[in-house]
Amino acid sequence: MRTAVAPLPLPTRPPGRGHPGARARLRRDERGFTLIELLVVVIILGLLAALVGPRLFGRVGQSKQAAARVQIELLGAALDQFRLDTGRYPTTQEGLQVLQVNPGNVTGWDGPYLRKEVPRDPWGSAYQYKSPGEHGEYDLWSHGADQAPGGQGEAADVTSWGTQE
């Protein structure tokens, strides 16, 4: 005896290539952006860059000033450690290089006092060092962006004695 099996319902065809509206849908999906849409996006990006750009560039100068202050403090700490070991600060002639390399005639030298070589200021110039200094036992400073004494803003001097000239 055979049992009757109910026929399975035929699956409905999803809209696709054989569907009457498929060609119109494919043309709409494949067209991409128009030139006007692209121009609007470019104009919006340009306006955002014009508004945000000057604010970011103004911060670059401030960040270089802050980096110079931090480097001067770190160099000051290394100078203090040198003084603890040798009983004096390096002379102007010895300069900051004595923090990295013992010139051979310094008793008590237990360096190097810096992990890396003596850094340059954020504007690419060497830090200025004088001992004995006019403002303390030593003076350590950077002339800022203009590489000349004094100045305003990013061109202002960054000093170890805390005031800007």
142-158 confidence digits (pLDDT tens): 988 888 888 887 788 89
Residue closest to 61 by CA, chosen among 129, 156, 138, 160? 156
Classify residue 133: in a domain, yes or no. Answer: yes
- Evaluate whether 141 touches 160 at the Cβ level (below 8 Å): yes
Classify residue 165: in a domain, yes or no. Answer: no
Classify residue 65: in a domain, yes or no. Answer: yes
Label residue 87 by pLDDT band (50, 70, 90). Answer: very high
Residue closest to 140 by CA, chosen among 66, 72, 67, 69? 72
Q: Tell me the average pLDDT across 124-131.
A: 93
Classify residue 73: in a domain, yes or no. Answer: yes
Classify residue 10: in a domain, yes or no. Answer: no
What is the count of structural domains for the chain? 1
In angstroms, rounded to a whole number, what is the distance separating the alpha carbons of residues 137 and 56? 38
Owning domain of residue 93: 59-159
Residues in the chain: 165
Classify residue 12: in a domain, yes or no. Answer: no
Classify residue 146: in a domain, yes or no. Answer: yes
Label residue 14 by pLDDT band (50, 70, 90). Answer: low
Classify residue 34: in a domain, yes or no. Answer: no
CATH number for the domain spanning 98: value is: 3.30.700.10
In angstroms, rounded to a whole number, what is the distance separating the alpha carbons of residues 128 and 82? 18
